[in-house]
Structures are given as structure tokens and as C-alpha cells.
């Protein structure tokens, strides 16, 4: 007989805000692997000497935890979107800091852009900017579902739990509608 279903992230946030200190540890245990997966490849190679991706993930998690008592989790899935934003800002800060300290040798044989991340090289900076702008135009529910599925790689059952949805199929439809709208907006 399977054990009880894990708590949704929104339930853990509320428990922590209500004084359950162990809920914070369960949040960290749940969110760190998701953030690590998301962050992989986002920090360009030239920035890695100053801070490894894992360091940025941990700093981002600590920033979020410092504000978690005041965090307003209006919707299930809001915390992961919030963590994504904090981590994205940390990556951008590190990139800016690294650019100001890096020097490219005029004799470098590597012709790839040292300022681009793996993600940027695969899909291009302009496409990333269009994607980010289009994401902001989705409904909050669609945006969170698309981020959880596409960026965090969650399964539909995991997403159903996180979003407090009635079923994995309802989440699948939400993602499908969000992706259609996202594609339209990016054209």
C-alpha cells in the first residue's frame, strides 16, 4: 500500500509561515533539486570561475527563505515561479559581474561567444527575450504550468499536486493551451 501523497509546496509554505520550522527543511529538500535542474547550463562558462551554478541556487534559495514569512502564495505553484525569478536574477547578476572582470585574449581560437550560456547558444538570445516577454502575457495559471513543465521538467502528476489541480489531464490541457498561446505570442 503506497504511503501518503507528499504535501503540495503551497501547503509547506503555509505550514512554515504558521511556525512549523520543519516545513522549511521539506521545502528546501523539494525545491533545491528542481532549481538545480533548471539552472544547469544557464550560467556561461566564463562566469563559472566566480560562482558555480550550485552556489547561485543555494544563494537564491536563502534569499527566498529570508522573505518566506512575508511571501503571499496566492496560487499553488507561485513559490516555484518566485524561486525561478530570484534564481534568474542571481544568474544575471553573476553574468554582469563576470563580464566586468573577464578579458578575452586576442589570440583566442575559440570563436564561440564567451558571453552566451549553453541555453542561449542553443535557442538564441533574441528567442529567449521573446519567450520571456510572451510568458508575461500568459495568465498566471498558464505561466506557472508552462514553467513547471517546460523549464522545471515536472511530470503531469507532479504538476497536478503542485497546482492543486483536479487531475494530471487537467494540467496537461492547461499546459497545451498555454503553449499554443505562447507560440502565438512569440510569432
- Best CA proximity match to 169, nearest among 157, 181, 182: 157
d(CA 59, CA 92): 13
CA distances from 110 to 97, 103, 107 (A): 22, 13, 9
pLDDT digit string, tens, across residues 55-67: 888 888 888 888 8
pTM for the structure as a whole: 0.64
Q: Which domains does the chain have, with CATH numbers?
A: 1-100 (1.10.1740.10), 123-187 (1.10.10.10)
Instruction: Report pLDDT digits (tens) over 81-110.
Output: 888 888 888 878 877 776 666 554 444 444
Quick one: DSSP state of residue 32?
H
Amino acid at each position: 500500500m503506497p504511503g501518503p501523497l507528499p504535501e503540495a509546496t503551497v501547503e509547506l509554505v503555509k505550514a512554515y509561515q504558521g511556525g512549523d520550522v520543519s516545513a522549511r527543511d521539506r521545502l528546501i529538500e523539494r525545491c533545491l533539486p528542481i532549481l538545480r535542474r533548471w539552472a544547469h547550463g544557464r550560467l556561461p562558462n566564463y562566469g563559472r570561475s566566480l560562482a558555480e551554478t550550485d552556489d547561485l541556487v543555494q544563494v537564491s534559495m536563502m534569499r527566498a527563505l529570508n522573505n518566506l514569512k512575508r511571501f503571499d502564495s496566492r496560487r499553488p505553484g507561485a513559490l516555484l515561479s518566485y524561486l525561478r525569478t530570484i534564481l534568474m536574477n542571481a544568474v544575471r547578476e553573476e553574468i554582469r559581474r563576470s563580464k566586468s572582470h573577464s578579458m578575452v585574449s586576442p589570440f583566442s581560437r575559440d570563436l564561440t561567444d564567451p558571453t552566451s550560456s549553453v541555453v542561449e547558444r542553443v535557442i538564441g538570445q533574441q528567442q529567449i527575450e521573446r519567450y520571456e516577454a510572451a510568458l508575461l502575457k500568459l495568465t498566471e495559471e498558464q505561466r506557472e504550468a508552462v514553467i513547471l513543465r517546460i523549464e522545471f521538467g515536472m511530470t503531469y502528476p507532479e504538476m497536478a499536486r503542485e497546482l492543486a489541480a483536479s487531475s494530471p489531464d487537467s494540467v496537461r490541457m492547461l499546459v497545451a493551451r498555454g503553449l499554443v498561446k505562447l507560440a502565438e505570442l512569440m510569432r
